[in-house]
């Protein structure tokens, strides 16, 4: 009988999951992905251990946004230099790199600590249906 009261990395069994982003809304999809890569859907979840699964997102170019977010929502970031505040709209960011839009929204839903830097590496985003992870035998989640 196992009396270990805290969870360890050796007990963790990571799986590979595919999520199709075709006709899904950005926020709802990012919320679902962040729960899976964090491991909150597992019974042995612990906030100090990376116990989440690997997530492969396909068709990232077919993500939808509700309302007027394509025109109105903007991302603001700072380069670190004087006068270095940059503003980019979602439409321009999506044209430049569609994967970055989903990556930024998932990263914003993770906790702001050192563990989240490791957790975000479990996310793999592809613009089309082809991906390089056939050997891991991922299963599709709808």
* Domain residue limits at 115: 15-65+98-141
Quick check: is 10 in a domain? no
Quick check: is 85 in a domain? no
Contacts 24+ apart (CB under 8 A), 92-100: 94/70, 98/60, 98/61, 98/63, 98/127, 99/60, 99/125, 99/126, 99/127
Quick check: is 5 in a domain? no
Tell me the pTM: 0.88
The number of folded domains in the chain is 1
Quick check: is 6 in a domain? no
CATH number at residue 54: 3.90.1180.10
Task: Encode the chain (142 residues) as per-residue pLDDT tens digits.
Answer: 566 666 666 677 889 999 999 999 999 999 999 999 999 998 888 898 898 999 999 999 999 999 999 999 999 999 999 999 999 999 999 999 999 999 999 999 999 999 999 999 999 999 999 999 888 899 888 7
**Nearest partner of 55 among 18, 86, 26, 96, judged by Cα:** 18
How many Cβ atoms are within 10 Å of 67's Cβ, its own excluded?
8
Q: Which SS3 state, helix, strand or coil, does residue 103 take?
A: helix
């Amino acid at each position: 009988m196992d009396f270990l009261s805290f969870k360890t990395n050796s007990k963790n069994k990571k799986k590979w999951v595919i999520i199709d982003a075709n006709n899904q809304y950005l926020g709802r999809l990012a919320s679902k992905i962040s729960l899976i890569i964090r491991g909150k859907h597992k019974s042995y979840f612990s906030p100090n251990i990376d116990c989440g699964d690997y997530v492969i997102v396909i068709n990232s170019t077919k993500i939808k946004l509700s309302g007027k977010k394509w025109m109105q929502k903007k991302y603001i970031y700072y380069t670190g230099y004087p006068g270095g505040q940059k503003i980019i709209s979602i439409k321009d960011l999506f044209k430049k790199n569609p994967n970055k839009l989903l990556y930024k929204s998932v990263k914003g839903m993770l906790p702001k600590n050192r563990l989240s830097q490791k957790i975000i590496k479990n996310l793999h985003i592809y613009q089309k249906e082809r991906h390089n992870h056939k050997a891991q035998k991922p299963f599709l989640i709808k």
